[in-house]
Amino acid sequence: MTAAAYRNTLLSLLCLTAGIVDVIGYLSLGHVFTANMTGNIVLLGLAIGKSLQVTVFNSLTALIGFICGVIISTLMVGKAENTLWPSAVTKALALEAFILFVFACLSFYSSYVPVYILIILLSISMGVQTIAAKKLGIAGISSTVLTGTLASLLEDLSGRLFFKKQKKTFLRDAVLRALAIILYCVGAIIVALAEPDFYYIIIWVPIVLIFGIMMTAKLKLSGEK
């Protein structure tokens, strides 16, 4: 595999991670999205309209956590060098892995830990991942914002179908966008199937994935321009 192929694969695995984390939050933390803020804002609006105070606070907590994660990640990677895989991206992912580790540990004591703490940990981690993935600059994929990715994919496919000029254009971006959406859904399916019986196992999967991504980036992409 080329260095670019490794990088694209690692980005796709970040999308899988986001799908897993999002559904962990939705199923175990009061039906709140911690990665997909578009869906979370919709839930917030519905909760306000129906005067569902608990849902309002949960959604607001996730939104605030995500914003904090974005700010932190921007400070970490915003001025990083534009290489194939900036070292600052790996550092941001290390922070994400640490936050997910804290979440996993606290989950064993969820009866004693306020749900808002767990929500904010997951949403901060996804905010960090969003900007770290965006820094890679691959097909506009941020690993958590699927609406824009889906729109770009459909734009690619429509252009290739209806405009002859674009029929021979490179398919890489379209394939990566489709893969991002598919893997996010796969992550959601994995958690939906595993969560009832294997919750305390599935919460460690995102940490393992992020650690694997970091190690692969260090071994295969370190120093690549």
Q: Assess if residue 141 is contained within a domain.
A: yes
Q: Assess if residue 51 is contained within a domain.
A: yes
Q: Assess if residue 62 is contained within a domain.
A: yes
Q: Assess if residue 224 is contained within a domain.
A: no
Contact in structure between 111 and 136 (CB atoms under 8 Å): no
**DSSP notation for 26-93:** HHHTTS--SS-HHHHHHHHHHHHHTT-HHHHHHHHHHHHHHHHHHHHHHHHHTT---SSS-HHHHHHH
Q: Which domain holds residue 163?
A: 3-214
Q: Assess if residue 101 is contained within a domain.
A: yes
Q: Assess if residue 220 is contained within a domain.
A: no
Q: Assess if residue 219 is contained within a domain.
A: no
Q: Assess if residue 202 is contained within a domain.
A: yes
Per-residue pLDDT for the chain (225 aa), expressed as one digit of tens each? Answer: 788 889 999 999 999 999 999 999 999 998 888 888 888 888 888 878 776 777 788 889 999 999 999 999 999 998 877 788 899 999 999 999 999 999 999 999 988 999 999 999 999 999 999 999 999 888 888 888 788 888 888 887 777 777 765 554 457 888 899 999 999 999 999 999 998 899 999 999 999 999 999 999 998 887 666
**pTM of the entire structure?**
0.90
* CATH number for the domain harbouring residue 48: 1.20.1250
How many separate domains does the chain show?
1
CA distance linking residue 223 with residue 217, whole number of Å:
10
